Amino acid sequence: MIATLVSPQPVLNHVLLARAFDALKHDGAEIADTLDLEHHHAVDIGFSGPTLASARAALLEAMADAPVDVFVQATGQRRKKLLIADMDSTMITIECIDELADYVGKKNQVAHITEAAMRGDLDFVAALDARVALLAGLHEDILQQCYETRVRYTAGARQLVQTMAARGCHTVLVSGGFSFFTRRVAAHLGFAVEHANTLDVENDCLTGKVTRPIITAEVKRQTLINEAHSHHIALQDCLAVGDGANDIPMLETAGLGVAFHAKPKTLAAADAGIMHGDLTALLYAQGYVQSDWAQSD
Q: Which residues are catalytic?
A: 86, 88
C-alpha–C-alpha distance, residues 257 and 56, integer Å: 14
Q: Which of 272, 273, 246 is nearest to 262 (CA)?
A: 273
CB-CB contact of 6 with 284 (8 Å): yes
Q: Name every residue whose Cβ is closer than 8 Å to that of residue 22 and which is 6 or more positions away in sequence.
A: 62
Beta strands in 221-294 (DSSP E): 238-242, 256-260, 272-274
Q: Give the pairing of strands 82-85 and 238-242.
A: parallel
Q: Give the pairing of strands 205-210 and 238-242.
A: unpaired
How many residues are there in the chain?
A: 297
Backbone dihedral angles phi then psi of residue 122, each to the nearest 5 degrees: -130, 155
First-last CA distance in the chain? 35
Q: Which of 135, 95, 132 is nearest to 115 (CA)?
A: 95
Q: Name every residue whose Cβ is closer than 8 Å to that of residue 65 and which is 6 or more positions away in sequence.
A: none
Query: Cα torsion at 44, 290, 238, 120 (round to 10°)?
Result: 90
Residue type for position 288: Y
Instruction: Give CA separation, 126 vs 201, 227, 247, in Å.
Output: 20, 27, 17
Query: How many helices (H) and strands (E) in the chain?
Result: 12, 12
